[in-house]
Structure 1
Amino acid sequence: MGFRLSKIYTRTGDTGETGLADGRRVAKDHPRVEAMGEVDTLNSHIGLLIAELQALADRHPGFGDVIAVLEPCQHRLFDLGGELAMPDYQALQVAEIERLEQAIDRWNEVLGPLENFILPGGSKLVAQAHICRSLARSAERRCQQLNAEEPVRKVGLAYINRMSDLLFVAARVIARHQNVSEVLWQAAPKQAE
């Protein structure tokens, strides 16, 4: 991309509208802008997760694989944001979804089957991975809301869906490498009638 921002503030959004790359002006709460914002929030939290993993990677060598899987995700999420900002722009490829699925399958082989629901906790890193997972679900909902009004490429919808799956399994992998027990959900006791 040759275009770079030379000025950060433009004052054109002060009235509650923003410009899209195709020249349209839309409200800042337009479904397209909402979807772009949720993808950006997810990307920011993944950046935080990666930074925290990197800080501990020397003590937990298994984090290197998680980092290697997550780092390209930030670039692909930026691509998805670009597709949302420029509806004719196409950057995401099916091969990237396959890459996520391969990582999920590889990690699940080591983890084994999930026998109970787990809660987002056990360590700060595990909780951060679950925050990312829940933000991926939120981004997916916003993308689906947009898709109901204006088409979103199927590969983008599939990618954001697979991201939440990947982050769920990543949380479990992180717990394993930290030797932290997963927090198992305990159903509320049933009341006698």
Structure 2
Amino acid sequence: MKIYTKTGDKGETSLVAGVRVLKFADRVEAYGTCDEANSQIGLALSLLPESVDWKELREVFHVIQTKLFHVGAELATPEGKKVGWPIGEEDVTFLEGQIDKLDADLPALTNFVLPGGHPAAAAFHVSRTMVRRAERKAVHVAQQEQVNQSVVKYLNRLSDYLFVVARHINKQTATAEQTLHE
């Protein structure tokens, strides 16, 4: 199978089940943003320093990146079509558990944290903002068509998790967090 199909040469693409839409359709924007965020997470993971054992974090991110692919698949599935890998409340709960686990070991927030710090942490902050954009686009789609509400919740929790991961990386690498000056 060739990587190029030439079916998108006129500005259209296929959703799941072969439904053709313009490449700038809201669903395409939403799942495309999930793909961007997933790629950015991969970049962020590649920046983790080897001086710390990140095995458990990498295992969690393997699950998250797979689920983010599933979120994209849900957003690429038109209303009324069967979703191959549905996102459920258990996926949201999984993220909440991971947030609680990492957050318990972090200093309490007393001010807004500016994105940055260790390069890996900064990259996870960028991932966070991309996931927030994906969430906004998913909400926009949900205003027009039926969208599994667990998808929106998952994206919301994922951005929270990415924030906590960035703080965790800064702590593990002894990199000071910068906060907002008032």
TM-score of the pair, normalised by structure 2: 0.92
Matched with 2:37 is: 42
Bigger CA drift: 118-127 or 26-35? Answer: 118-127
Matched residues in 2 for 1:50 and 1:125: separation?
7
| Percent identical residues | 39
Matched with 1:190 is: none
1:70-127 Cα distance to aligned partner (Å, 9 max, x none): 2211100111111122242042222121111011111111113211101111221111
Matched with 1:64 is: 55
Q: Give the one of 87, 97, 102 matched to 1:107.
A: 102
Q: Structure 1 residue 80 and structure 2 residue 75: aligned?
A: no
TM-score of the pair, normalised by structure 1: 0.87
Say if 2:45 and 2:120, in contact at 8 Å, map to a contact too: no
For 1:146, what is the secondary structure of its paired residue?
Answer: helix
For 1:110, what is the secondary structure of its paired residue?
Answer: coil
Say if 1:34 and 1:142, in contact at 8 Å, map to a contact too: yes
Gaps of 5+ in 1: 1-5, 188-193
What amino acid sits opposite 1:60 in the alignment?
Answer: V
Matched with 1:129 is: 124
* Runs of 4+ off more than 6 Å: none
Say if 2:124 and 2:162, in contact at 8 Å, map to a contact too: yes
What amino acid sits opposite 1:17 in the alignment?
Answer: E
What amino acid sits opposite 1:185 in the alignment?
Answer: L
How far has the Cα of 1:22 moved from its partner?
A: 2.0
Q: Give the one of 172, 175, 178 matched to 2:167.
A: 172
Say if 1:50 and 1:71, in contact at 8 Å, map to a contact too: no
Matched residues in 2 for 1:42 and 1:79: separation?
13
For 2:47, what is the secondary structure of its paired residue?
Answer: helix
Matched with 1:51 is: 46
Bigger CA drift: 164-173 or 123-132? Answer: 123-132
What amino acid sits opposite 2:114 in the alignment?
Answer: L
What amino acid sits opposite 1:110 in the alignment?
Answer: D
What amino acid sits opposite 1:29 in the alignment?
Answer: F
Gaps of 5+ in 2: none
1:149-168 Cα distance to aligned partner (Å, 9 max, x none): 11110111111111000000
CA-based RMSD? 1.3
Equivalent pairs, count: 178
